[in-house]
Amino acid sequence: QCAYLCPVGAIYEAPTWKKLLHMLENKNGKVFIAQTAPSVRVAIGEEFGMEPGTVSTGKMVAALRRLGFDYVFDTNFGADLTIMEEAHELLHRLTKGGVLPMFTSCCPGWVNMVEKEFPEFIPNLSTTKSPMQIMSSTREYFAKKLGVAPENIVMVAVMPCTAKKDEIERSQHVVNGIKVTDYVITTREFAKMLKLKGISFVNLPEEKHDSPLGASSGAGAIFGVTGGVMEAALRTAYEKFTGEKLPRLVFSEVRGLDGIREAEVDFKTRKLKVAIVNGTGNAKKLLKEIKEGKRNYDFVEVMACMGGCIGGGGQPKSLDPDIIKKRARAIYSIDEMSVIRRSHENPEIIQLYEEFIGEPNGHIAHHYLHTYYTDRSKAKRRQEKSSVEKSAGGK
Ligand code: SF4
Tell how far CA 156 is from the center of its chain. 13
Rg over CA atoms, the chain: 21
Q: What are phi and psi of 249, to 5 degrees?
A: -105, -30
What is residue 131's predicted lDDT score, i.e. its pLDDT? 97
Cβ of 307 below 6 Å from ligand 1 = no
Distance from residue 385's CA to the centre of ligand 1 (Å)? 28
Ligand 1 contact via 277 beta carbon (within 6 Å): no
Å from CA of 248 to ligand 1 middle:
28
Residue 300, SS3?
strand
pLDDT at 12 over 60: no
| Phi–psi pair at 271, nearest 5 degrees | -95, 135
Mean pLDDT of the region 141-170? 96
Choose the weakest-confidence range: 110-119, 213-222, 285-294.
Answer: 213-222
The number of beta carbons lying within 10 Å of the beta carbon of residue 151 is 12
- What is the per-residue pLDDT across 329-379, written as a single tens digit (0 to 9) for each? 999 999 999 999 999 999 999 999 999 999 999 999 999 999 999 999 988
From the CA of 314, how far away is ligand 1's center (Å)? Answer: 9
111 lines ligand 1 (CB under 6 A): no
Instruction: List pLDDT tens digits, range 43-73.
Output: 999 999 999 999 999 999 999 999 999 999 9
Q: Does the structure show a pLDDT above 60 at 167?
A: yes
pLDDT higher than 70, residue 13? no
pLDDT at residue 6 tops 90: no
Q: Give all domains of the chain, ordered by start, each with its CATH number.
A: 16-374 (3.40.950.10)
Kindly report the protein residue whose alpha carbon is nearest to atom 3 of ligand 1: 309
Measured in Å, residue 272 CA sits from the centre of ligand 1 at: 25
SS3 75: helix
> Which atom of ligand 1 approaches the CA of 162 most closely?
1
Peptide bond into 347 cis (omega under 30): no
Q: Does residue 94 have a pLDDT over 80?
A: yes
| Ligand 1 near 113 CB (within 6 A) | no
Is pTM beyond 0.90? Reply is: yes
pLDDT at res. 380: 81
In total, the chain counts a number of residues equal to: 395
Query: How high is the pLDDT of residue 27?
Result: 97
Give dist(CA 387, CA 282) in Å, integer.
Answer: 27
pLDDT reading at 10 higher than 80: no
User: What is the reported pLDDT for 395?
Assistant: 52
Please work out whether the CB of residue 304 comes within 6 Å of at least one atom of ligand 1. Answer: yes
Q: Tell whether the model's pLDDT for residue 265 goes beyond 60.
A: yes
Report how far ligand 1's centroid is from the alpha carbon of 282 (Å).
14
User: What's the pLDDT at 8?
Assistant: 46
Q: Which atom of ligand 1 is nearest to 309's Cα?
A: 3
Ligand 1: which of 114, 181, 229, 309 to mutate, most ligand atoms within 8 Å of CB? 309
Q: In what order do the strands lie in the sheet with 260-266?
A: 102-103, 299-303, 271-278, 260-266
Say yes or no to pLDDT of 313 above 90. yes
How far from 202 is each of 35, 53, 186, 188, 206, CA to CA, in Å? 20, 14, 19, 16, 10
Whose C-alpha lies nearest to ligand 1, atom 4?
107
| Ligand 1 atom at minimal distance to the Cα of residue 303 | 5
Average pLDDT value over all residues in the chain = 93
Please tell me the predicted confidence (pLDDT) of residue 394: 58
What is the distance, to the nearest Å, from the Cα of residue 131 to the centroid of all Cα atoms in its chain?
4
Whether 312 lines ligand 1, by a CB cut-off of 6 Å, is yes
Kindly indicate the confidence band of residue 212, based on its pLDDT and cuts at 50, 70 and 90.
Answer: confident
Assign 384 a pLDDT band (cuts: 50, 70, 90): confident
Using most ligand atoms within 8 A of CB, pick from 280, 303, 310, 315 the residue to mutate for ligand 1: 303
Determine which residue's CA is closest to atom 1 belonging to ligand 1. Answer: 161
E-strand spans in the chain? 31-36, 71-74, 102-103, 153-159, 183-186, 260-266, 271-278, 299-303
Residue 3: the pLDDT is 38
Regarding the beta carbon of 303 and ligand 1, being less than 6 Å apart is answered: yes
